[in-house]
Structure formats: structure tokens, C-alpha cells
């Protein structure tokens, strides 16, 4: 959410909240990178850390949920709904990653290279505004689908009699959610604004 919304809710200034968030984030992987202005390194980090994680985690989560549905689906039909929603989210994400890796990210990298070389940018897009808006729309949809999954999964709290596999699956789902939020934040609030600033200075 935009910074001013939580600030209004807790009567804090943007500077106070941003400072607190940076203290919480200190020492986490990628923190120094997110504070750097190197968009090429940031793109590489996002692909290697977050895109790779999604591609590796989704098949595992599908398998875990399929096993739960087979074992407990009659008594807990919500498990099938969680699986269906995750498949919908997964399909969206796989398409989203491809668009970023083959279209938007190369354009951002080309812009950074041109800026370093002092040359005009050679981009497939007239402006990055439109593809970035499309990616942010994808982010909004992904967040909504992830919210639906969280609700259907009882906020990832398994029932008291849940088996070990059920508990492990919900831990993995919550980790997936956490990584997705970090991924979306890094793109929407760090990479994309920097890319647009690069584009403005290149004009």
C-alpha cells in the first residue's frame, strides 16, 4: 500500500515509518542491493531470487495440496479451493515472469546501459510507463489471489488434528506468500520507480 495509508492509520510520519522499516530490514538478503541505484543488479537479483523461487516452489506446493485433497478433501472441501486458487495464481505468475524477463526487464537494462554509455536509449517501448502499469496490475491481481488463498486456508492455521503434511504445507504456503509480497514490493516500489527516473533523465 502507499506509505501515507499506514501512516494515517497509526498517526506516524512517513519518515518515522520508513526509518523503522529500514531498521527491520537491515541485514536481510538483498537489503544493500535495494538501497543501491544499480538497476541491472536489481533485475538480476529479482530473477535469480524471486522468479526462480516461484518456479521451484509452485510444483512442490501443487503436489503437497493434491496429496491433502486426496486424503482430507471429503471432510475439508476448502482444500480443493485452495489448490484451485493456487493454480490460478501460478498460471498468472508464470505468464507475468515471462513478460518481465523477455520484454520489460531487457528494456530496463538497455536503458541503464545507454545511460552509462551516454547514448540514447534503444527500447522496444515508446515509454516504460505502459508496461510497468500492466505489471503493477498483475501484482494487484496476484495479491488478491494470495489473499483469497490465505482466507480459504484459515490464515494458514491448520486444524488441531492436522497431520504433519498438512502443517508443512501451510508453512510452505505462508513462506510463498511472504516471498511474493517481498517480490512485488521490490518491483513496484524500488525497481519500477528507478527505471522511470532513468527514463525521465534520458529524455
What digits encode the pLDDT tens for the residues 42-68?
999 999 999 999 999 999 999 999 999
> Dihedral (C-alpha) 153, 157, 159, 164: value to the nearest 10 degrees?
100
What is the pLDDT of the chain when averaged over all its residues?
A: 88
Confidence of residue 202 (pLDDT cuts 50, 70, 90): confident
Predicted TM-score (pTM) of this structure: 0.81
| C-alpha count within 13 angstroms, C-beta hemisphere, residue 42 | 25
Helix (H, G, I), strand (E, B) or coil at 182: helix
Helices (H), the chain: 4-10, 14-25, 31-34, 39-45, 52-72, 78-99, 105-117, 129-152, 164-186, 192-202
Q: Give the span between the Cα atoms of 185 and 191, in whole angstroms.
A: 9
Q: Per residue in 137-182, pLDDT tens?
A: 999 999 999 999 999 999 999 999 899 999 999 999 999 999 999 9
Amino acid at each position: 500500500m502507499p506509505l501515507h495509508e499506514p501512516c494515517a492509520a497509526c498517526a506516524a510520519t512517513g519518515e518515522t515509518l520508513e526509518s523503522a522499516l529500514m531498521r527491520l530490514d537491515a541485514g536481510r538478503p538483498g537489503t544493500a542491493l535495494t538501497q543501491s541505484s544499480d538497476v541491472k543488479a536489481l533485475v538480476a537479483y529479482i530473477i535469480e531470487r524471486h522468479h526462480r523461487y516461484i518456479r521451484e516452489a509452485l510444483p512442490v506446493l501443487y503436489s503437497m495440496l493434491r496429496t491433502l485433497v486426496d486424503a482430507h478433501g471429503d471432510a475439508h472441501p476448502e482444500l480443493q479451493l485452495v489448490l484451485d486458487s493456487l493454480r490460478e495464481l501460478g498460471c498468472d505468475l508464470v505468464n507475468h515472469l515471462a513478460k518481465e524477463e523477455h520484454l520489460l526487464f531487457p528494456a530496463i537494462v538497455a536503458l541503464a546501459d545507454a545511460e552509462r554509455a551516454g547514448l540514447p536509449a534503444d527500447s522496444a517501448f515508446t515509454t516504460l510507463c505502459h508496461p510497468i502499469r500492466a505489471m503493477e496490475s498483475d501484482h494487484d491481481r496476484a495479491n488478491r489471489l494470495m489473499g483469497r488463498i490465505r482466507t480459504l486456508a484459515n490464515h494458514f492455521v491448520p486444524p488441531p488434528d492436522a497431520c504433519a503434511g498438512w502443517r508443512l504445507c501451510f508453512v510452505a504456503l505462508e513462506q510463498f506468500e511472504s516471498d511474493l509480497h517481498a517480490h512485488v514490493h521490490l518491483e513496484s516500489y524500488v525497481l519500477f520507480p528507478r527505471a522511470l527516473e532513468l527514463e525521465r533523465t534520458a529524455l
